[in-house]
Chain A
Amino acid sequence: MQNVGFEVDKTVLEFEKDILNTKKNILQISNNGAVQGILRASNNEYLYDEEQNLHYDSWRERLENHFAVMMEQNPSYFQIRFIGIKNKGKEIVRVDKINEDITIVKSKDLQSKQNSGYFKETIKIKEKSIYISEINLNREHNTIVFPYLPTLRVATPVYEKNKKIFGMVVININVNILFNFENLDRQINIENYIANKDGYYLYHKDIDKTFGFEFGKKIFLQNSFNIKNFMSTKQDLYRYYDYDLSSAIAIKKVSLSKNKFIYVLRKADSKFFDAKSQDYFITLGIYIIFIAILIAILTLVLTRYLTLPIIKLATMANTISKSKNDKYVDVKIKSGDEIEELSNAFQYMLDSLYESKQEIEEFAEKLEEDVDVKTKELQVLNDGLETKVTNAVNENRKKDELLAHQSKLAAMGEMMGNIAHQWRQPLNAISGNIQFLKDDYEDGLINEEFIDNYTKENMEFINFMSKTIDDFRDFFVSDKVKREFSIHTCIEKPLNILRPQLNEKSISLNISGEDFILNGLQSELQQVILNIVNNARDILVEKNTANPIIKVTTKIENDTGIISIQDNAGGIPSDILNRIFEPYFTTKEQGKGTGIGLYMSKMIIVDNMKGELIVSNNEYGAVFDIKLKI
């Protein structure tokens, strides 16, 4: 759609430009050489310009030509005149344009204009000032010329050197051409109105109302539009919506001279808006897309500019975090804002970190050296220690061996006592037999039968004693070779030696349970059993228990042979129950116990035979369970 507003704006602007141009033109004419020549020639009695050696008529001719050229160049000019004052306001030079033909008016047709309004006004103004008339229809001899020609007259006075007014230059302008009224008529959905400063129509779509005031019709612009308030202000532009007519109205004051102006009013109806809206939104869409692209580019550039220091810092931080901080890194960023402060702080932290790391490394190196020295010292110490430990272990082993030996010796002592006890009776019997042998001989009792009986009896005693010694020897054989043996045989042998002593103390010894075969060190197990039974005997004697009894029971439970030795001495006090296997722990009087018997027993069962030795109390007394894998 045609951009009507722009066209009209252009028209208004061109109008103002034309007025300005005309003002320049008229001033240029007033200073024109031909005008000045006419001035000089007029003052000569022979109408001769002595300065330029030209006659008055020649200057006139030149001015006519100049006017004609100017009219040719300015299509809106239809009349240019040079009017004198001294000759009673008669035109000196006049060029007309009639139907596009430029005509130089002959001298006889020139008119006097001293009664014209513009003549009277122009002679009042100063040199180089410009008079602009109201716009009205062109008149000739005070009669409106037909076809009607809306005219604007521009005039300027021409002064002589002695500051006396000589005449004036007047240009008549065809306002139709100036405003391009034909164009205004063609505009769609827009109505155009032009009025003079009083509101009289200079242009109306209704031709009868155009210049109606020239024919006595009092039709005003302000009667049709709500612009009275605007007309009374000094504002140049006023716009408003007329909701009743659903149209928008804009009125502009177009200045002609200091106190003269005209109004240009435009009324756009709803159709105009619809069309414009569509146009507007299409344009808006294009603008928005264009601006969006522009903003996007700008935003990207700006954001890049803003975030570049942060990205740089982040990248550096990332690099530093991945590196081992083993070399000095410069992270200073010169952005002149908080990021620079941040980078400075970061740099400070990094420097501190770097220094700390250096210190730590130095410290670590020193520490490493120290550790090396200490390690060497420790190595030396360790070497010594190893020897010391080996020595101590050996010593300990020797001590253990000694302990075992002591234990064995103690047991041997016990056994020796028992053997002595066992041997006493047969020895007494043998002794008695020997003592009574002489008497028997004197009595003649000795015969073959007696000798057989005597030998048999004494041999029984000697066999008994021999058996005792065999048992003792079996027990004390230092047997380190494992072999299979019957548990009952193993138990009975040492207990048989002990039995007479137990009988003497009225202690019953009861061996029961199922027999089983063990593979191990028999003598050592015998030593353990003997130790436990001896302890039971001692406590039963010490406590003087009524009906003292020692029960030795054997049984098999899940591939484990269990030998239980229990007494009825009331049990071991609970406070020492956990301590009885400790070395040198004894409850016996000084000199009677060494405190190594049970310790050695535990060592034999646990270390040598890979079994268990557990002590507990039952309702009668202490129970020792020896558990051995069959």
Chain B
Amino acid sequence: MKTIRLKLSSKIALITFILALLGIVILFIISYKQTIFSEII
């Protein structure tokens, strides 16, 4: 199995990006109902 070689900066960037994206998606999903409500009034 080949090992993917990444530079330290790429690793940090990738992890941060994935975590941030994950966080935002979760936040969006959690706030879904709330957002729908806020559409009403």
Contacts and interface: CB of A to CB of B under 8 A. Distances in A.
B33 to A, nearest CB: 9
A295 B20 contact: yes
A239 interface: yes
Given A280-B36, A284-B28, A307 B12 contact: yes
A288 B24 CA distance: 8
Given A239-B37, A264-B41, A295-B17, A311 B9 contact: yes
B8 A9 contact: no
A110 interface: no
A3 interface: yes
A228 B28 CA distance: 32
Interface in B15-41: 16-17, 20-21, 24-25, 28, 32, 35-41
B40 A288 contact: no
Nearest to B20: A295
B37 A250 contact: yes
A580 interface: no
Q: Which of A251, A264, A277, A306 has most chain B Cβ within 10 Å?
A: A306
A103 to B, nearest CB: 38
B36 A8 contact: no
Contacts of B40: 4-5, 8, 190, 239, 248, 250, 266, 268
Nearest to B25: A288
A266 B41 contact: yes
Interface residues of B, number: 20
Nearest to A237: B41
A306 B12 contact: yes
Contacts of A306: 9, 12
Contact of B28 (A237, A273, A288, A307): A288
A12 interface: yes
Contacts, number: 74
Contact of A276 (B13, B25, B36): B36
Residues of A in contact with B, size category: 35 or more
A5 B37 CA distance: 9
A66 interface: no
Interface string A46-83: 00000000000000000000000000000000000000
A287 B28 CA distance: 10
Nearest to A287: B28
B12 to A, nearest CB: 5
Nearest to B39: A5
A204 B9 CA distance: 62
B13 A248 contact: no
A307 B17 contact: no
B17 A296 contact: yes
Contacts of A280: 32, 35-36
A415 interface: no
Nearest to B38: A5
Nearest to B17: A299
Contacts of A296: 17
Contacts of B21: 288, 291-292, 295
Q: Which of B9, B13, B21, B39 has most chain A Cβ within 10 Å?
A: B39
Contact of A307 (B8, B20, B25, B36): B8
Nearest 5 interchain pairs by C-beta: A5-B39, A307-B9, A250-B41, A303-B13, A250-B40
Given A8-B40, A288-B25, 4 more contacts: A9-B41, A251-B41, A280-B32, A299-B17
27 contacts: A3-B39, A4-B39, A5-B41, A8-B40, A237-B41, A239-B40, A248-B40, A264-B41, A266-B40, A266-B41, A268-B39, A273-B36, A276-B39, A280-B32, A284-B28, A287-B28, A288-B21, A288-B28, A291-B21, A292-B21, A295-B16, A295-B21, A299-B13, A299-B16, A304-B9, A306-B12, A307-B9
